[in-house]
Structure 1
Amino acid sequence: MPNIKQEEQKERHQQKIAEYQREVGPQKQKEQENQDVQKEIRKKQAHQKKQEHNDNLCQSP
């Protein structure tokens, strides 16, 4: 008899984990995508600043 209870508990536990992953999974993925986008933006801004700096150096006599 105790084995049946343990199996039920395991099953409920796995269901809770699956439910949590369904709720949190997409949220975590969205956060990661946002971080990736922010990283790209910072890269482009840094490249643009570097380019402006180089342009200014070239213009100096």
Structure 2
Amino acid sequence: MLVFSKRLDALARTAIVEAIQLDEQEAPQREIERQKKQDEENHAAQENARLVNKATFFRP
């Protein structure tokens, strides 16, 4: 047996629609932030590799 409230069901559906709209609006900004974070991580890894290699090969 399944019991549900039509009022609560309507509120839930409205909330779902609003959440989908917010996700669509915020998706481009989240993608930009994700890409920026990935670029920063790549840069940090490259910088670390550069420092390791510099110490290995540089002999005054």
- TM-score (norm: length of structure 2): 0.72
Using the alignment, how far apart are the partners of 2:56 and 2:8 within structure 1?
Answer: 69
Q: Distance in 2 between matches of 1:40 and 1:6?
A: 47
Task: Give unmatched runs, 5+ long, in structure 2.
Answer: none
Match of 2:19, SS?
helix
Aligned residues: CA RMSD: 1.8
Which structure shows the bigger proportion of residues in helix conformation? 1
- 2:51 alignment partner AA: K
**4+ long deviations beyond 6 Å:** none
State the percentage of identical aligned residues. 5
2:53 partner amino acid:
Q
Give the length in aligned residue pairs.
Answer: 56
Q: Please, which runs of 5 or more residues in structure 1 have no aligned partner?
A: none
TM-score, with structure 1 as normaliser: 0.71
